Amino acid sequence: MRVLVTGGVRSGKSRHAESLLAGREQVTYVAAGPSAAEDPDPDWALRLAAHRDRRPASWTTLETRDLPAVFAAAGGPVLVDCLGTWLTGVLDERGLWERPADEVGAVVDDLLDAAVTALAQVPDVVLVTNEVGLGVVPAHRSGRLFRDLLGTVNQRLAGACDEVHLVIAGRVLVL
């Protein structure tokens, strides 16, 4: 089972993704967003705590953006939440926000090549991402860059999955 779960902000996509692995004793939960050390925002910390509280104590949480390494080392099911925060972190870490779009795209493509190759070795993985492209065109370059790149990320990883689930207001549509 390889599933990409997409939807808007606060649509219920993380809860749905977790439900796909309910009953699994050992799951590697990859928190691909900023750690508390990177972003001491108290609202972000509350969101992370709510997610942690929903998960079984037997699930292992990894705070990392090295998705190929996680996939390559996975001994069981993997849940990655969320590709949008992963992409933001990659752009931040590598100082790519102000680089030319083609250069940034090449870096993201290389990361995706490695992730897709490693993903093929994981029998059970659920990837959570934000859907992009349904709203207005962002007014700022960084917003357009992010939208375009996340669209590419979503398409590439959806292509490596068996199913895509769209979550809207807590309701799931299997595409």
Active-site residues, by number, are 51
For residue 27 the two structure tokens come to: 């799951």
Choose among 146, 40, 37: nearest CA to 87. Answer: 146
The CA distance from 119 to 136, in Å, is: 32
CA distance 137 to 130: 16
* SS3 at position 42: helix
Shortest CA distance to 145 belongs to which of 155, 156, 134, 137?
137
Q: How far is CA 81 from the centre of its chain?
A: 4
Nearest in space to 56 (alpha carbons), one of 91, 100, 22: 22
Instruction: Quote the crossing angle between the two packed helices 101-119 and 83-93, to the nearest 10°.
Output: 130
